[in-house]
Amino acid sequence: MTSAFDQLPARPRPQPSAESQPYWDALKAHRLILQRCTNCRRVRHYPRPVCPHCYAFDYDWLDASGRGTVHSWTVSHHAFDPAFKAALPYATVTVDLDEGVRLQAPLKGSDAEQLRIGLPVVIDFDDIDSDLTLPCVRIAPRTGTPACPPTN
């Protein structure tokens, strides 16, 4: 017998651009990198070709600490796309990264009821398959555990 969840469509996948491909490659290596304008030196996220502050085209990449605090969150009880129905309910967290930009990612390993604005969190990595790794958010451990654990 098959369930309704067995017949759900596949989740949509990111379509990397030339500007964002290094970001996706770094996630596969369990690294979080952020674009930085080489003209005004401001960090930006999501990856894009033009600096939103000074409109320069040149940028480099910096390794992010993987640490931040909860800015906001939402718990989805209704799937915006049928492919996400099996994951319901799930929390999506907006994180103020220590580098000064925000990142949105799903909460893993904790109940959304534990979330509070300003709560320290870390970015972790969810290996969807051999070709795709996505960032996820975990509540920061209370002790001195590294934010982005080293890969084995």
Q: pLDDT tens digit string along 8-38?
A: 788 899 999 999 999 999 999 999 999 999 9
Number of domains in the chain: 2
Enter the DSSP assignment of 112: G
Q: Which helix (H) or strand (E) holds 28?
A: helix 21-28
**Same-domain pairing of 110 and 140:** yes
Please indicate, yes or no, if residue 5 is contained in any of the structural domains: no
pLDDT in tens, 49-66: 999 999 999 999 999 999
CB atoms within 10 A of CB 147: 19
Task: Identify which of 103, 119, 126 has the alpha carbon closest to the alpha carbon of residue 34.
Answer: 103
Is residue 88 within 8 A of residue 80, CB to CB? The reply is no
Q: How far is residue 89 from each of residues 78, 82, 111, 132, 148, measured CA to CA in Å?
A: 7, 13, 10, 23, 26
Please indicate, yes or no, if residue 127 is contained in any of the structural domains: yes
Model pTM score: 0.86
User: Structural domain of residue 133, as residue ranges?
Assistant: 65-147
